[in-house]
Structure 1
Amino acid sequence: MSFDEWVDARVPALLRFAFLVTGSQHDAEDAVQAALTQACEKWSKVSRADDPDAYVRRMVVNAHVSRWRRAGRRELSVAEVHDTALTDVAEGVSTSDAVWRVCSALPRQQRAAVVLRFYEDLDYDEIAAVLGVSQVTVRGYVHRALAALRALLTDPNDPNDPSEEHDDGRR
């Protein structure tokens, strides 16, 4: 498959992935553009990889991390995400305002780990390779992120909440 054919087929998914990692449409487009520029230059190597999609996703993450390291900038949360071109349910859920507000509260690495685990459906070894950390670190990121998300989403007045400890020791 040629680079142009591959890009035509994969850009929408790469942009969705990058948006979830970066939290910004603008930063997502920048990260994808940087990754695709590198991928084009190295297409013979990328196309021979076991999983070219994973290879380029890693490039997207690296491009984003490099950008915020270089700039030394802080991430800004957005109040609303506007994108009327979404057609399937998964895309709608991934960009919904409520989901984004909760996920934007997570640190970058935790958010990236959650996106890779639950949106991209990667296993811990694959996530470790994408983020350039150990599998144990990835498990820690996901565990802490899920605990934080549970705390943010739990209604303290709900007596039926299974995440609350009961007096008799039941969970």
Structure 2
Amino acid sequence: MRDGSEEEYVDYVTARIPALRRLAYLLAGDEHRADDLVQQTITTLYVKWRRACTATHLDRYVRTMLVRAYLDERRLAWARVRLVRETPERTAPGQDAGVEDRQVLRAALAQVPRRQQAVLVLRFFYDLPVDEVAATLGCTSGTVKSQTSRGLATLRRLLGERELAGATYEGSRSR
């Protein structure tokens, strides 16, 4: 890139890194893997910049690249390599109950199949419509709806449906 497009690329990436890291972290659940995903995405973007910068919705294009990199990551051999025998323990949650809730939700979300996890993050954390999620994942709207339903069912099972149902039921009784 010798024309002015390299400067455009640097400006775009510099502005979008925080949003890309946030999405990657929500998907991967780990800061280091999130950084790797972002690095992979912006490297691929650099290679494809001339074509990418002509996209109607550049942010959507780059978000699609990141989500697809995340979904493809498990197929790569290096994703299965562990450098330590045991996973290090996480630090204890703080006094804030919200932090603990987020950790519980993140742990449950990590157990959901990757495609369902991507659908749930895009639908509920990013509040994207079904059609946009379908375009991002390269599937039909019906697939997104079924993956959402299955993913939510798995989360309910993992988080303990009785606890969730009990909280809803008790909350409705007190009104």
Global fold match (TM > 0.5): yes
Q: Higher Cα Rg: structure 1 or 2? A: 2
Secondary structure of 2:10's counterpart equals helix
**1:123 aligns to 2:129 (yes or no):** yes
Q: Which structure's residues are more often helix, by fraction?
A: 2
The gaps in structure 1 that reach 5 residues or longer are: 83-91, 163-171
What is the CA distance between 1:51 and its match in structure 2? 1.3
2:148 aligned partner: 142
**Residue 66 of structure 1: how far off its partner (Å):** 2.8
Which 5+ residue runs of structure 2 have no aligned equivalent? 1-6, 93-97, 170-175
Report how far residue 138 of structure 1 moved: 0.8
| Distance change (3 Å), C-alpha of 1:157 and 1:55 | closer
Residue-by-residue CA offset, 1:89-117 (whole Å, 9 max, x unaligned): xxx87x93122112112111111100000
Amino acid aligned to 2:124: F
Report whether the alignment pairs 1:5 with 2:5.
no
Residue in 1 aligned with 2:42?
Answer: 36
TM-score (norm 1): 0.74
Give the alignment's Cα RMSD to 1 decimal.
3.1
Identity %: 36
Residue of structure 1 in register with 2:161 after alignment: 154
What do residues 56-109 of structure 1 show as CA deviations (whole Å, max 9, x unaligned)? 111112222333212285699986489xxxxxxxxx87x931221121121111
Asked if 1:47 is matched to 2:72, the reply is no
Q: TM-score, normalised by structure 2?
A: 0.73
